[in-house]
Structure 1
């Protein structure tokens, strides 16, 4: 099946739509990355606040100390989980970005093919027009005896 200019135009439009969808997916992945980054910063801030409270001078309450230790352990686990989630999101963003670049290359290749085919058709039409003019001139010239 040959690719007509109309078919190529439809394919280019389809590729543009696919590229737009890929841009939306990339934006969503980046939004999730930023959300997870904010959550990690929040956990790190909680840990820092706990450490500042623990550094205060004064009498040490055993119950507060045990509660702070348990909270520190929970916050450290949370930080680890959020770092892993952030790394996963970074990988997702990179995958979406590379997929978008692939989609763009695909669309641009289709556009280049369409441009080339349109140029070839334009040249062929110009040639056909010149042939027609030559034929027209030849037929007008012949009835006059063929001499100038």
Structure 2
């Protein structure tokens, strides 16, 4: 990646990244908003290990999940660290806490209550988007 024309990261970049993380959490059940916060060539590995390629694939999987009991699972994200690989690429380390609000009849024992999440974000101008999202369950 040629970064010769890149602007060095600033405190505003860290603030924008934290705001993007907050928006992803707020939009976790909005299939119109959440995928748009990601790049078109996104790679996503979810808590169950399912890998998706591209924003359209993510949007389709999200719509499918929201039409199932998975719609009653909420997550809370906590930013632990932000590092800039280049001025336009940030690696964001997060802790994901899972709140399973499915009815008691569901067997939720398989679902971990926490995960370690990594976002790789890219910047174009002042606009940050998620290019990679990977979650590792904590058992």
TM range (shorter): under 0.3
TM-score between the two structures when normalised by the length of structure 2: 0.23
TM-score between the two structures when normalised by the length of structure 1: 0.22
Rg: which structure is higher? 1
- The higher-RCO structure (CA 8 Å, 6+ apart) is 1
Between structures 1 and 2, the one with greater strand share? 2
